[in-house]
Structure 1
């Protein structure tokens, strides 16, 4: 899968810009605040139907009433035309091949991508909610039908928690327990599967790109471990008195986490800032191996990397179409041997 071009109109600081990309590596160079990150955000919007950090209306240029995006994506020689429109009156329309998209999961079913941004180090440093969101996003890309599973789980969880706060009939709560067990176990197994695969891929990237003298592992931490839906249900029941006491569901996939270990120690507790940055880059690059030839959107990934590691990142990216932003000067990248004949440079 490759993106051939994208047209931006009134999106962030881009009033009217057209960009073309080649298969392989595309370096988008420009000074800070020139719109490099906004370009990647526009591509992300086309693939997801939303931004990863802002409400739709906040993506519109300050002096405009709407934004438009028009992207051309090729997958096995078939062209997908993506059109997006959002205005300040909260009208929103997304079209793929002239067909209106009603569910964002339809986009995830069609387009495969990996997105890295500078704040991605929060994957290690922030609370479990951030890591669950990352993991569930990757699962949704591979298994789009899981989006509804997550939604149904949240609805069942909210209903159960509301009941726990106004508890009066013991027999009613079993309806919620059965539903949470069914959905929770399904989510648990998918997360367990993806974490295992992601850990193996991350070890490979870590060794090939960053570190030979240390190890990295990703370990899933489940609040309810089970080998079947029935066992999950039983474990949920064991927490019933505790749940009544606190007024919310204390165990389940909504409280799970995964741990990133460097040399068998928690990166969050023991790793340096530099190690945390490398670990996060390794995980995001490794996530590309979960899909069949995804597009890599890598924002400022070179920051704080030495030239050897930059070269290693570029070598890994040659297996994909990669769009990489950098604030470094083109001449400096050429002098370091990082820009070669097969790399397409887009200058902002």
Structure 2
């Protein structure tokens, strides 16, 4: 990833943060001709059409372009019609609403990053909760080929999906500019303790995304972005500084989204949720954080439970002729795709240098048409083998 680096420095500090350098780095224009798979440029952001991405034959070139857009380009791509069938989004929205209602009825109030308690609605670990509540809806939703395309392009195979539902109610306050997980979640003092090369590494460990579960006009506060800001190496130390916050407020862009659209962005991009200034739009988004197999996800997800819940759906859909890609996308969102860490005394390598991952077991179970009871027993045994 090309970034504005500090020559000869093994570590970074707030003293390395220079607004003039930052401004010069991001003062550029996105040219559509440089991104042949994109449909348009809006507010310096690349806009893709879901159907065009789905039907493109040159997948390698497509992936390379997406990586270039996220790493060296504006740092954000919007995919119009990422979910071609709006009913798939509606079914999962209904699950989200049911989960929120249950949460309210129980008296639990999930914390929110930027609003007063109770002002907005948030469901943590929505991926696992959705799978357990409605495995059918989960499978149709996470079989999405655009999510799989962008995730695999940025992170490679074995990625891990987590999600959080965020509903910003009318009048819900916006956020201040920030960067995201990993280093973006740390204090400046802690972030500065990590060497400069870790600041360059952190953005490639995760992909941020958001699926619009309703139409989001600008007045409802869709996310604010500062294109190209992910390229600034000291940015994990700069985003809290007043002069950088002020520059973000003056120069950010904001795009409306329609239900079923999705935005994907580099976690190092300066961004912030906007204020919902409408009187009647409950701005509902499924916030996706997709983690590299080489990193760890932000949330603890019981992927054994998710895989067991979704397996009967996989079996039935396979019998009905669902394509390999469809099945693989659901498995990638359900099961752990990376075999480590593990206990190599009790879980030794098989046919190579690594034992089978949880996802490998689910693939085999679908291929061999195991019973749900057999899969449940094998996944439990695998969990026990990995224990120290």
Q: TM-score, normalised to structure 2's length?
A: 0.21
Higher relative contact order (CA 8 A, sep 6+): 1
Q: TM-score, normalised by structure 1?
A: 0.23
